[in-house]
Amino acid sequence: MSNEKVVGEIMHKGVIACKPDAPIQEVVRIVADTDVHAIVVMGGDNAVLGIISHMDIIRLYGQNLMEHTASDVMTRDVIFTTPNATVVEAAREMLERDVHRLLVCTMTAEGHHKPVGIVSTTDIVKEMRGAKWMWYMG
């Protein structure tokens, strides 16, 4: 059995979610007023439809936010991982997909992804902080 850390040990537990028809100005308010960097967009059947990150939001800079909903700006290609995936696997996935966060999910009996948290590049860097490093002073 490996001692390697798993995503469930370092992820941010829980997510903030909205419906696809949520006004984007409300999503912006939540993101701006909290330390949340991503909002999960979920359908009526609690299926994950997308995710809204800071980058998705700033694409609207200068536009009338009243004219947009969550579904207008969400990223539909959500990259998932599980709480049992290793941190190394999560880091590799982020690098290969060029993303800053993965949605951590378990599967429901209906076959839907059930969000339980988010793991970000920041979480992985904080985990690395405890690693032993060799310093070279040339």
**Matching residue, tokens 């609207």:** 60
> Looking at the chain, how many residues does it have?
138
Note the pLDDT of residue 132.
58
Alpha carbon separation from 11 to 4, 43, 70, 108 (Å, rounded): 15, 23, 24, 20
SS3 119: strand
Note the pLDDT of residue 110.
81
Going by the DSSP 8-state scheme, the letter that residue 128 receives in this structure is H
C-beta neighbour count of 128 within 10 angstroms: 11
Distance of CA 121 to the CA centre of its chain: 10
CATH topology assigned to domain 7-128: CBS-domain (3.10.580)
Q: What are the tens digits of pLDDT across the range 107-130?
A: 988 888 899 999 999 999 988 887
Low-confidence ranges of the chain (pLDDT < 50): 1
Structure tokens at 6: 């798993």
Note the pLDDT of residue 45.
82
C-beta neighbour count of 124 within 10 angstroms: 17
Contacts of 1 (CB under 8 A, 6+ apart): none
- Element (H or E) spanning 117, and its range? strand 113-120
Domain map (residue ranges) of the chain: 7-128
Note the pLDDT of residue 1.
40
**Matching residue, tokens 């970000």:** 120
Q: What are the tens digits of pLDDT across the range 95-111?
A: 999 999 999 999 988 88
- Half-sphere exposure (CA, 13 Å, Cβ side) for 133? 7
Q: Using a pLDDT cut of 70, give the percent of the chain over it.
A: 91
